[in-house]
Amino acid sequence: MDYKVALGITLPLAVAIAAFGSALGLAKAVSSAMEATGRQPEASTKILIAMATGCAFIEALTIYALVFAFSLAGKI
């Protein structure tokens, strides 16, 4: 198998796995934040800030995977 074929198969698969993992992580973060807000409504601002920061980091990891895939796609 040529390396170009291997990259052509694995790059979309890797980005799909990263996006799926990101979706699971974001779902868990938002779900936990909503439960915490339901338990302590007076702390909703602090919970929202922490959730938004965590979601930004989760999305950044997905974007890094996409950029890495694009950089390797130039080798095909």
Cβ neighbour number for residue 23 with a 10 Å cutoff? 12
Count Cα neighbours of 22 within 13 Å in the Cβ-side half-sphere: 18
Domain boundaries, the chain: 3-73
pLDDT confidence of residue 27: 96
pLDDT confidence of residue 73: 87
Residues 6 or more apart whose Cβ sits within 8 Å of residue 54: 29
Superfamily of domain 3-73: F1F0 ATP synthase subunit C (1.20.20.10)
What residues of the chain score a pLDDT lower than 50?
Answer: none
Cβ neighbour number for residue 6 with a 10 Å cutoff? 11
pLDDT confidence of residue 74: 86
Name the pTM for this structure.
0.81
Cβ neighbour number for residue 11 with a 10 Å cutoff? 19
